[in-house]
A and B are shown apart, each in its own frame.
Chain A
Amino acid sequence: MSDSHSHSDILLCQRCNKNHASVISRKEKFCTDCFRNFVSLKQRKQMMSDQYYQDIFKVMYKDKLRSEQDAHLQNLNSKILVPLSFGSSSLVMLDILNDTLLEQSITHRGKTGFTVDVIICFHDEQIQNQIKENVSKLINAKYKENNQKIKFHLVDINQFFDNSPHLQSLVLQETDFLIKSLNLKDQSIIEKKLTLSEILDQCSDRSTYQDLLAFVTKHAIKKYAFQHDFKAILWGHSMTRLADEVISLIVKGRGSAISSSLNTDDFDENYGNKFKNLYPLKDILLTEIDAYCYNSGLHNYLINYNIQDALLVNKINQNTDKIQTNSLKNKTINELARNYFEVIEGDYSNVISTVVRTGDKLAEPKSQENFKISKCNLCMQKIYSDPSQWITSITENKGHPLETDEEKENYQRWKNYNNDKLKNSEMDFFRLNEFVKENGSKACLCYGCTITLNTFKDKSVVWPVHDDKELNSVLEDYVLTDHEE
């Protein structure tokens, strides 16, 4: 990389002592190559963190444990899935995986220990063309040599509803925070509500919107991994991203899910125990990833992502007047947590790693006495205690008695108003909700989802029933090659 050096005091890389430093990170100066190496080694360290992952990524040969054919098969079957969002992290992770494959190919005479399938999820038609274009550019510019080892798949997450054999209506009863659910076998009742965007539009705030979208995307990725026998999903989460995930989970009342969402040791229970989840960029800060991204020219492939130049010696200086797109009120919980870490990184640099390490120390919660652990109908997380019981135990739901005649009169007016509303209501949904409340069965929702449902406009949602049928209903994908334009 050529940098323009007009300063007399040129910084030298502290690793090689030869090249000019282009990045300053963790109080150390790095040249572009040494920094790439630094980040790359951290990722590879995670990829070698235990036997399971070593078996995936290493090139296997005949040894005491396996015959030549076994070794060959193992190399062939070591398929990993990489979700690509076209943010800096997933692009950098893919780049390092590509380097690893190239290196293996060279040192092992064409053999590699694993193959990569990249999954790109979208729900917005408009972005589809840009994705195709970027993939094509990426393949041509970067991944030509690994053509056979890295494949790109495009998945439309709008299939979330079309793909679900059974739908259920989940309704929150405000008085006792119980959830009632009803299987909607006859989908015609709710015909017009079946698209993902319509469900998302019910969210009253951006935070809930993004959470649902994130869940649907994650579900599609994991389902894809389940259906195509992948050994592991490699998530591009940086240390910063994981820290904001931990804080956001706590703030959303989903603290009990921290241990399972950071779990890289066990197979994913919700998806048939077929694959594990790994966060290879766990030890790298987002600012470092952005610096890598920029120095490696990957910033040309970003979609909807603002790259930071905090660690670069020569600032990018493109748009110094950072556009403040959102006011505080319009930010999501994750964005607020992210902002906090961005600000705090300067004064208390170890906070981010502390949060991730502390999150790692959390275990699966103990279940409440006499409570059978169940799964959330919405997000599939395990439930360890009854959220409605907890909420009602700390919330009084009766009011002060009526005293004056005027109050009694007002009460009567309210009663009449409500009856009229029920009678005259032409909204299918209002009726459906009342119907579900009366005829539905008690459903399990985790605390976080109960709170989410409470923020919904009509305190209800139509959602797929997560069962084996749903998990096995084929998710269609579209393979992208460099010829796509």
Chain B
Amino acid sequence: MFTAPSDPVNVRKELKVTQLCELCHSRKAIIRRPKNLQKICKLCFFHVFETEIHETIVSNDLFYRGERVAVGASGGKDSTVLAYVLKLLNERHDYGIEIVLLSIDEGIVGYRDDSLATVKRNQQQYQLPLEIFSYQDLYDWTMDDIVETAGIRNSCTYCGVLRRQALDRGAAKLEIKHVVTGHNADDMAETVLMNILRGDVARLEKSTSIMTSSTGSPIKRSKPFKYCYQKEIVLYAHYKKLDYFSTECTYAPEAFRGTARELMKNFEAIRPSCIIDIIASGESFVLKQKMGKQNKKKIITYNDGNRCERCGYLSSNKICKACMLLEGLEKSRAQIKIQVQVPGEPQQEGPAKVLRTLERLTF
């Protein structure tokens, strides 16, 4: 059989010393870590990735033995890797926790139904229990309906508020007191920047905390991926051949957040460590003590344990944000809806489905 003279297949090439991994110095480096610019090999990458998450979990006392933990699973890369790594670490280091996958179905046809299919496969692959709660059941609204009523511009506001509550409610129904989410370092850095750009003073100090819990709420949330670069999560999922859903939500992110995201990408291009650097900055933020006449007038008596008068969910105001948004929506729905949706019938096509179909069209 003819083999090309330059065929490299059977030639054993000796690696140059400069090609070697900077941690084990014995295997070929294939990844450059954005965090510290180290060039490392695949095995060392798996090792450092998993160990760093383990360290984060241990040093912050995220779990206790016997705790039931819900992983907010969307089917995307972050939550898929989170479920995988948590299960792995739980077995390796014997945390003694019970992991449940908790998914929220926002009702975005063509996006969430596909990603939920991924979660269902993950359930089989990792042998973890899965619970799905839908906006439809919880609020009697799907995101597609909301976008149709309120327009695409504010979709993230609605979705964000409702999902936060949905996760809590889902966890409460399962009698789980701890929800872990796949928020990564990039998300956190973006939040720090956003809070500064928007002047969101109330959130500034807390924006980098790894665990959030309110005194009035039995459910705490944590982010074990706080220090993990998105790039590394993607690489991990890729090299581990994890089954995840990689499409972005069809409803575009809020325009202003989009600008902040782009700004951060630009920063990252010239200084890859900037994501961790931003978190380092964010962790040092302390607000000045309020003084002077102006502030004396409005001392906000923020009561951490307040409950919404309507739904009983945790809220700093009389009525929680979700109920306010839903009330606004109800008003619009009554006027705009022309077709009557019959309960039990299959869902109508949302804009996401239409977009998806358009995307797949070929000439």
Contact = CB atoms under 8 A, between A and B. Distances in A.
Contacts of B46: 400
B52 A396 contact: yes
Interface stretch (B170-178, B282-290, B302-310): B282-290
Contacts of A448: 277
A393 B288 CA distance: 29
B199 A247 contact: no
A194 interface: no
Given A247-B193, A394-B52, A400-B47, A411 B199 contact: no
Given A328-B266, A362-B286, A253 B51 contact: no
Interface stretch (B34-42, B113-121, B156-164, B332-340): B34-42
B23 A398 contact: yes
A390 interface: yes
B227 A394 contact: yes
A411 B24 contact: yes
Given A250-B193, A361-B287, A390 B23 contact: no
Given A366-B286, A455-B271, 5 more contacts: A252-B277, A354-B199, A362-B287, A399-B47, A400-B43
B200 to A, nearest CB: 8
B266 A400 contact: no
Contact of B201 (A246, A361, A366, A455): A361
Interface string A211-246: 000000000000000000000000000000000001
A249 B52 contact: no
B274 interface: yes
Contact of A417 (B17, B43, B284): B17
A480 to B, nearest CB: 37
Contact of B24 (A259, A343, A363, A399): A399
Interface of B: 15, 17, 20-21, 23-27, 35-37, 40-41, 43-44, 46-48, 51-52, 55-56, 59, 192-193, 195-199, 201, 204, 227, 256, 259, 263, 266-267, 269-271, 273-274, 276-278, 280-282, 284-289
Contacts of B41: 399-400
Contact of A395 (B35, B269, B271, B285): B35
Contacts of A410: 15, 20, 25-27
Interface in A394-448: 394-402, 407-408, 410-411, 413-415, 417, 447-448
B17 A413 contact: yes
A371 interface: no
A387 B25 CA distance: 26
A340 interface: yes
Given A251-B267, A340-B263, A410-B15, A365 B286 contact: yes
A72 interface: no
A395 B26 contact: no
A255 interface: yes
B59 A393 contact: yes
A88 interface: no
Interface centre among A205, A390, A399 (most CB of B within 10 A): A399
Interface stretch (A57-65, A163-171, A329-337): A329-337
A334 to B, nearest CB: 11
A341 to B, nearest CB: 10
Contact of A333 (B201, B270, B280): B270
A160 B193 CA distance: 35
Contact of A411 (B25, B192, B259, B263): B25
A319 B66 CA distance: 70
A454 B196 contact: no
Contacts of B284: 255-256, 365, 384-385
B259 A340 contact: yes
**Smallest CB-CB A-B distances: 4 pairs:** A255-B281, A399-B23, A253-B277, A399-B24
A480 B48 CA distance: 59
A425 to B, nearest CB: 15
Contact of A250 (B43, B51, B281): B281
Interface of A: 174, 205, 207, 246-247, 249-256, 259, 328-329, 331-333, 336-337, 340, 343-344, 348, 351, 354-355, 357-359, 361-366, 384-385, 387, 390-391, 393-402, 407-408, 410-411, 413-415, 417, 447-448, 451, 454-455
Contacts of B267: 251, 333, 336
B85 to A, nearest CB: 14
Contacts of B289: 363
Contacts of A333: 267, 270-271, 274
B270 to A, nearest CB: 6
Nearest to B274: A251
A250 B281 CA distance: 5
A448 to B, nearest CB: 7
A384 B197 CA distance: 25
Contact of B197 (A254, A343, A355, A385): A355
Given A247-B193, A454-B36, A255 B285 contact: yes
Contact of A414 (B17, B266, B280, B282): B17
Binding site of B, secondary structure by majority: helix, strand, loop or mixed? helix
17 contacts: A246-B196, A247-B193, A251-B274, A252-B281, A331-B266, A333-B270, A359-B196, A390-B280, A393-B55, A394-B227, A399-B25, A402-B26, A410-B26, A410-B27, A411-B26, A414-B17, A451-B277
B32 to A, nearest CB: 14
Contact of B259 (A255, A331, A344, A451): A344
Interface centre among A249, A340, A390 (most CB of B within 10 A): A340
B353 to A, nearest CB: 31
A329 B269 CA distance: 7
B27 A447 contact: no
Nearest to B273: A451
A355 B193 CA distance: 10
Nearest to B27: A407
Given A246-B196, A250-B278, A400-B46, A205 B259 contact: no
A365 B283 CA distance: 9
A358 B204 CA distance: 9
B180 to A, nearest CB: 18
A331 B282 CA distance: 24
Interface centre among B48, B197, B287 (most CB of A within 10 A): B197
Interface centre among B15, B24, B198, B256 (most CB of A within 10 A): B24
A219 B35 CA distance: 30
Contacts of B259: 340, 343-344, 348
A348 B271 contact: no
Contacts of A398: 23, 47, 51
Nearest to B52: A396
A37 B36 CA distance: 51
Nearest to A353: B199
Contacts of B52: 394-396
Given A354-B199, A362-B285, A414-B17, A253 B55 contact: no
A364 B59 CA distance: 26
Contacts of B44: 399-400
B248 to A, nearest CB: 22
Contacts of B24: 399-402, 407, 411
Nearest to B35: A395
Contact of B26 (A357, A361, A366, A414): A414
A366 B263 CA distance: 29
Given A207-B270, A255-B280, A400-B47, A414 B25 contact: yes
Contact of A396 (B48, B270, B271, B273): B48
Nearest to B290: A361
A256 B286 CA distance: 9
Nearest to A393: B59
Interface centre among B15, B17, B55, B287 (most CB of A within 10 A): B17
